[in-house]
A = this chain, B = another copy of it.
Amino acid sequence: MTEKVVLAYSGGLDTTVAVRWLKDNKGLDVVAVGVDVGQAGDLEAIRERAMKSGAIDAVMVDAVDEFASDFVVPSLHANALYQQKYPLVSALSRPLISKHLAEAAAQHGAAYVAHGCTGKGNDQVRFEVSLAAIAPELTVLAPIREWGMTREDAISYGMEAGLPIPVGPAAPYSIDENLWGRTIECGILEDPMVEPPADIWERTADPFDAPDEPVYLEIGFERGVPVSLDGEAIGLPALIRAVEKVAGAFGYGRVDMIEDRVVGIKSREIYEVPGALALITAHADLEELTLDREVLRLKRVLEQRYAQLIYEGLWYSPLREAMDAFMTETAKHVIGTVRLRFEPGNARVVGRESSGSLYDYSVATYDKEDSFDHSAAEGFVKLWGLPLKIWARTKQKLNP
């Protein structure tokens, strides 16, 4: 009996050619799996294309809610921004897709899974390490990395095989997208000194084209999860999309950065992440109202490590589990409302309130209600500075 491979299928040129290549070169029957993580596109059309390409089966999985609750939420709890900028759009979806690949492999009795990544990107790492962690018995194939065909070769190969490959000129950029944002790379963007052209943006307007009046949104959080908009309860995917729409209209959420890839090289990356950035901004602000200083200080350091591990494909790792335990514990206290003012180019927090607020007006005010013990400050400052005073005296003795 012919063995099977489950292929992560996007409907693009590479994975379409891969369906055939895996049969021709590995002698495997291909089960194509597509996962809806909130990207645009007609999944049924993609499914049909997979079948026309020679797949023995093709399955499209609706995973938007799962993506929001199991991947976006932990990431938001951690305010996860790789290099303090990139909200891990693709890095978050890869482990989810890997999980569905492994499930499909189990259902179809496949010993192989395959992805369509090249050898220099991050996604190969994310797929292969995720699969090693959740299904170590599976063998992972990387046809595009292995075949070494140029784009032209791949087109010829696909044409000869009669595959339903896209016609027309090559897309000038490489795009990946999902509920949490959109990634744009390659082409002219590979020159770090070239300004990203206007035609790459889909989810964000130019700030010069922003509305004439500010929009205010009040985002309500429970346990660190956004659960309401202007007081109305709303599911997370809908909330993300609603915030993204407003933020994008004001031209907020464009990221242009030099990024350190897992494989040891720097690349230039462009992201459109208006919803993700606005929500992370609001969440982090509410944390500053509701979390203790020392918790915040340590958490802000851990957040960087968290973002790195997700970026580097280590989602299914005991490190993430341990860090999630930390984050979840802190999230218990993050309750309240953040008021965002959307203005051209910006989503600015202009107010926040919480039943768990640690801001105490009676001690913070300079007003008459002040209940802060000013005399305690003298003793505090004295001991706070004591180590440096001893230090200074010692140095004076050494170097009179």
Q: Tell me the A residues contacting B by CB distance below 8 Å.
A: 83-84, 118-120, 124-125, 128-129, 132-136, 142, 145, 148, 150, 174, 186, 190-196, 206-208, 210, 212-214, 250-252, 254, 256-260, 262-268, 285, 288-289, 291-302, 304-305, 308-309, 312-314, 316-319, 321-326, 328-330, 333, 339, 341, 343-346, 348-353, 355-361, 363-368, 370, 372-398
Q: How far is the CA of A302 from the CA of B193 in the complex (A)?
A: 28
B296 and A208 contacting across the interface, CB-CB below 8 Å: no
- Please tell me how many copies of the chain the complex holds: 4
Contacts of A265 in B (CB 8 A): 360, 363-364, 372, 386-387, 390
- Which chain B residues lie closer than 8 Å to A375 at the CB level? 119, 379
User: Complex formed: what's the CA distance from A378 to B347 in Å?
Assistant: 42
Least Cβ–Cβ distance between A82 and chain B, in angstroms: 11
30 pairs across A/B with beta carbons < 8 Å? Answer: A83-B288, A119-B375, A119-B376, A125-B385, A128-B381, A133-B392, A134-B392, A186-B366, A190-B365, A190-B367, A195-B351, A206-B343, A207-B343, A208-B214, A251-B343, A252-B346, A256-B349, A258-B288, A260-B288, A265-B360, A265-B363, A267-B364, A292-B318, A294-B317, A295-B318, A312-B384, A314-B388, A344-B345, A376-B378, A379-B379
A194-B351, A295-B318, A379-B379 given; name 11 further pairs at CB < 8 Å.
A83-B288, A195-B351, A208-B214, A251-B343, A257-B285, A313-B384, A325-B326, A355-B398, A363-B390, A377-B383, A380-B382
For residue A263, which residue of chain B has the nearest CB? B383
Q: Which one, B267, B292, B313, B368, contacts A391 given CB within 8 A?
A: B292
In-complex Cβ contact of A386 among B145, B186, B251, B264 (8 A): B264
The residue in chain B whose Cβ has the minimal distance to the Cβ of A194 is B351
Contact A145:B319 (CB < 8 A) given known A325-B325, A353-B193, A358-B387: no
Q: How far apart sit A194 and B397, CA to CA, in the bound complex (Å)?
A: 23
With both chains docked as a complex, state the minimum distance between the C-beta of A186 and any C-beta of chain B, in angstroms.
5
Q: Which residue of B lies closest to A352 (CB)?
A: B192
Residue numbers in B under 8 Å from A212 (CB-CB): 208
A132 near B208: Cβ-Cβ < 8 Å: no
Asked if A296 contacts B83 (CB within 8 A), the reply is: yes
Within the complex, what minimum Cβ distance (angstroms) separates A117 from chain B? 9
Chain B, residue nearest A258 (CB): B288
- The answer to whether B263 touches A377 (Cβ under 8 A) is yes
With beta carbons under 8 angstroms apart, the residue of B118, B207, B368 that contacts A374 is B118
Give every chain B residue within 8 A of A132 (Cβ-Cβ). 385-386, 388-389, 392
Q: Is the CB of A195 within 8 A of B339?
A: yes
Q: How far is the CA of A120 from the CA of B42 in the complex (A)?
A: 47
Q: How far is the CB of A325 from chain B (nearest CB, A)?
A: 4
The distance in angstroms between the C-alpha atoms of A82 and B353, with both chains bound, is 22
Contact B352 A193 (CB under 8 A): yes
Q: Which residues of B contact A322 (CB under 8 A)?
A: 295, 298-299, 326, 329-330
